Amino acid sequence: MESKKRLYLGLLLLSLVLVIALIPIIGILFKQDTLFSKVILTGIVSVLGLLFILLGLGILAIVIMIIRSKTIPSLENITKLVNEMLFPLTLIIGKLLGIKTEKIRSSYIAVNNNLVKSKKLFLNGNRVMILLPHCLQDADCPHKITMDINNCQHCGKCCINDLIEIGKKYSAIIKVATGGTLARKLIEDIRPAGVIAVACERDLSMGIQECGALPVYGVLNCRPNGPCYNTSVDIDKVEQALVMICKGG
């Protein structure tokens, strides 16, 4: 596996160790020799023990899916639970270890993309949404495309025209969002079977988390002028993601 994915997987394992380390700490807190404290301690230890087993199984399933490039349908819910519960903890642990948050988020996106790829999806293009940030459009362009991407005049000053052509080629739905709220609304209204999202590490990782079971493949944007201003994206990577999600990985 690439080192990029190993970072997030390693932090997941550290998070799991932290969960099991809570057991002796709680034992110290409830060391009073009373029946009530013993019952409480037994209950907490049992819950943490079960959680440790579930999360451990989920992490193992993630690793196996990535290595085999094949999903395990019966364990997909557990892998989802692992990411939902431990991803915030990996950010905290990474910060304590001096690892940049963007680097952890990027690793998480790489792991997520591999899990989406392992599903071997065969979706019709018209059931796939390509979700774009508005900052891909040239900042000086008067023809705003947030409400309707067809307002694009195809001048070639930004990458929007190329993305429109890819959308037409595969009959995919293309939408532009100004932020997370509009992105969520677009997904709720259109209900695609799969999403290819272009954004920065922060927005992508948050969006993937919020979409739950919906397959979301993340493509990081390029930011030569800094965040949220005249950004770009590797068109080939978007098309590769579209081919992957439409033609079985």
Taking only the tens place, the pLDDT of each residue in 235-249 is 999 999 999 999 876
Distances (CA, A) of 216 to 73, 179, 196: 17, 16, 6
pLDDT in tens, 124-163: 999 999 999 999 999 999 998 988 898 999 998 999 999 9
Mean pLDDT within 185-204:
95
What pLDDT sits at residue 92? 95
Q: What is the pLDDT of residues 54-85, one digit of tens each?
A: 999 999 999 999 999 999 999 999 999 999 99
Looking at residue 19, its pLDDT comes to: 81
pTM over 0.85: yes
**What CATH class has 125-246?**
alpha beta
Residue 31 has pLDDT above 70, yes or no: no
Q: Domain coordinates of the chain in residue numbers?
A: 3-118, 125-246
Contact 206, 180 (CB under 8 A): yes
Residue 119, both tokens: 């599903």
> 98 pLDDT exceeds 90?
yes
In eight-state DSSP terms, residue 249 is -
49 falls in which pLDDT band (50, 70, 90)? confident
Identity at 156, one-letter amino acid code: G
Instruction: Write down the pLDDT at residue 102.
Output: 95
pLDDT digits (tens, 9 = 90+) for 106-135: 999 999 999 999 999 999 999 999 999 999
Mean pLDDT, residues 86-107 taken together: 95
Decide: 114 and 5 in contact? Cβ < 8 Å.
yes
Write out the two tokens for 89: 């903890």
Residue 37 has pLDDT above 90, yes or no: no
- Angle at 83 (CA atoms; ends 117, 227), nearest 5 degrees: 80
Residues 6+ apart with CB under 8 A from 25: none
pLDDT reading at 86 higher than 70: yes
Mean pLDDT of the region 192-200: 96
| DSSP run (H or E) holding 23 | helix 3-29
Where in the chain does DSSP place strands (E)?
128-133, 173-177, 194-199, 216-220
1: confidence class by pLDDT, cuts 50, 70, 90: very low
- The DSSP call for residue 125 is G
Which residue type sits at 1? M
Query: Is residue 21 pLDDT above 90, yes or no?
Result: no
Percent of the chain with pLDDT over 70: 93
Q: To 10 degrees, what angle do helices 201-211 and 76-96 make? A: 150
